[in-house]
Structures are given as C-alpha cells and as structure tokens.
Amino acid sequence: MSTARVGFVFVFGLGVVAGVPHARAQEQAGGAGPAAGAPGALPAAPPAGYASPGYPQAGYPPGGAPPTAYPPGAYPAYPGPGYAGYPPAAAPETVEEPDLPAIAPHRPFRFRADFGMGYFNPSDVNAYLEDQVPSNAVMTQGFSEMILLMSTGVSLAYYPIRSVGVRPNLVYLFAPKVMTVTGGSSEAFLLHSLAPGLSLDLALDEGKLPRFFASPGIAYHLGWFEGYGASGLGFSLAVGAELSFGQARRQGVSLTLVARRAKLGIGDRPSTPSGVVMDNLDFTSVLFCVGFQRGL
C-alpha cells in the first residue's frame, strides 16, 4: 500500500472515532434534532385568516368562528328553565277609572226623590181611634194610637249660585192603622195628606264629596181621614247632606232630617159623625228621609 493511501485511512479512522463521542454528547445535552412525530416549528407566515404581524391576533378567535367547546358545559341555557317564555306575553290592558275631581262642577238644577218615616202624635185622630174600640173588647194586635208617619216626595231645585237655591216640592204623608180586637174583627184606617210646597235651600257646597244643606219651607196641606177633610199651611225645616259619587260627582244619595208643623183645621165632616168630634188633623212630626239625588 502506498504511503498516501495509508495516511488517508489513518485520518478517516481518527475522524470516525472522534465523531462518535461527540454525537453522544449532543444527545445527552438535548441538542439532537426533532424526534420522530414531534410537531414542527411555527410557520414563518401566519395562517389564512390572521393578519400580519400578530400571530395569533389579539381578536382571536376571528369573528364568526367560536373556539372549540363553546359555550362551556356549565353555561346556563338561554332562556333559563324558569323563564315564562320569550317574548313575554303582553299584559292585558287595564282601564283605570278616572279620579274624582277635587271640585265638582256647579250644577244649577238638582233633582231629589226620597222616602221617610218618623214619629207624630195626632191627638184628635188618636182619640177617635180609641173610641172605635168597644169597651168590652181587648186588642189582640197592635194598639189604638197612631205614632208612625211615613212620607214620599219629589223635588227639583234651582241654584243660581252654589250656596242658595229654591226648591219646589211635592210631599205625600200617610199613616196606615190596623186594629184587631177579640173575636177576630179588625178595622183599618188611613190618615193622609198631599202637600205641594216651596223651600229655600241654603247649601254649604265646596264641590267636595258631602254637600250640606238647610231648607226652611212652606207647604199647603190637604188632609183626609174617615170622611173628614182638612186644609191649611204647614211649615218645615229640613237639614241634611247629599253624597255624590261616580264620574264628576253627578249623582248619589241624600240623607235628611225633617221637622214639620202642620195642624190642619177640619173643613169637611161626615154626614153622620161618630162619638168623638175632631177639630183638626195634625201632621206635626219629625221624619228621617233617605233618597236619590242627581245634579243636572
């Protein structure tokens, strides 16, 4: 073998021997190349959908591309299980009653119809009734005296201003009486009167819920009882209140206490009068009346 070939072989062998420990040192130091199946390095250019230079860009994920497993499993369902439904059902519309006005408007005309009852003591009539009970009879129902007087009436007042008005009226007064004595016999009597009149109304009317009034009045009475006829003037004083309800406080109820003096002189007598001679029919009384009233 020539001297040149021997030198080449010697140098190559030294290189191989020296290279083996160098390679093992690289492996131990972790400087070896990527292992089989390991991911490669990031690409030099960003993938499609990401603008240079950021990778990934700050707005990750890009619009319209939610990340994997979104929404998370713990995210509540929408709408929640207790939700009444979406969109919610529209609530039914409620019509609210208009509030009562603080001050009711002035109404110049006021209509009233009422019914009342109370106490009276017509002395001549009671004496006549007592005389109708036989001396040997015993009352089995009721008693002989009249003490309960009833009334019904209508009126229409005109108020040029809130506090003062005039009230034409018509009142019917009546007192029925039934007496039953031993033996089952019974008798019925009726004392009654029709009284057209006129009163002056003085009102405390501030447009509020109650409207207070006092009404002095005069009336011409026509009275009848068992063939007797009487007539004459009567005087009255009514005090009370009108309570108005509803929209604009147009109508409501009236509560009235009426004191009346009406002692009528008898003008007509029956052709065959009985034992007691009567001189008057007395409708003097105190009545409590309840009625309906309406402003016009």
CATH number of the domain bearing residue 150: 2.40.160.20
pLDDT classification of 167: cutoffs 50, 70, 90: very high
The whole-number pLDDT of residue 266 equals 92
| Residue 2 predicted with pLDDT over 50 | no
253/292 Cα distance (integer angstroms) = 5
User: What does the pLDDT read at residue 14?
Assistant: 47
Using one digit for the tens of pLDDT, what is the confidence trace for 87-114? 666 666 766 655 555 566 778 898 999 9
User: Comparing C-alpha atoms, which of 194, 203, 192, 193 is closest to residue 167?
Assistant: 203
Q: What is the pLDDT of residue 98?
A: 55
Task: Please write the tens of the pLDDT for every residue from 39-74.
Answer: 555 555 666 665 555 555 555 556 555 556 566 666
pLDDT of residue 90: 65
Write down the pLDDT at residue 186: 77
Please report which helix (H) or strand (E) contains residue 181, including its range: strand 164-181
Q: What is the distance between the alpha carbons of residues 157 and 296, in angstroms, rounded to a whole number?
A: 10
The residue range of the domain holding 132 is: 109-295
Lowest mean pLDDT among 17-31, 58-72, 266-280: 17-31
The Cβ of residue 199 has, within 10 Å, a number of other Cβ atoms equal to 22
At which residue do the structure tokens 């509020």 appear? 208
166, part of any domain: yes
- Number of domain units in the chain: 1
The CA R_g of the chain, rounded to the nearest whole Å, is 57
DSSP label of 28 = H
Instruction: Express each pLDDT in 226-250 by its tens digit.
Output: 889 999 999 999 999 888 776 666 7
Residue 164 has pLDDT above 70, yes or no: yes
Average pLDDT of the chain to the nearest whole number: 76
Residue 30 lies in a domain: no
Q: What is the pLDDT of residues 247-260, one digit of tens each?
A: 666 788 999 999 99
Element (H, E) at 123: helix 123-132
Torsion of CA 63, 68, 73, 74, to 10 degrees: -60
pLDDT, residue 276, reads: 81
The pLDDT of residue 8 is 47
- Which of 15-29, 191-205, 217-231 is least confident? 15-29
Residue 231, domain member (yes or no):
yes
Residue among 145, 159, 235 at smallest CA distance from 197: 235
Residue 137 domain-assigned (yes or no): yes
Q: Which helix (H) or strand (E) holds 234?
A: strand 228-245
Q: Is the pLDDT of residue 203 over 80?
A: yes
Q: Tens of pLDDT along 124-163?
A: 999 988 887 766 666 656 667 899 999 999 999 999 998 8
* 41 in a structural domain: no
Give the pLDDT confidence score for residue 130 in this predicted structure.
84
Q: What is the pLDDT of residue 84?
A: 57
Examine residue 44 and state whether it is found in any structural domain, yes or no: no
Q: Look at residue 218 and tell me if it is in a domain.
A: yes
- Residue 254 placed within a domain: yes
Contact 245, 104 (CB under 8 A): no
What per-residue confidence (pLDDT) applies to 156?
A: 94
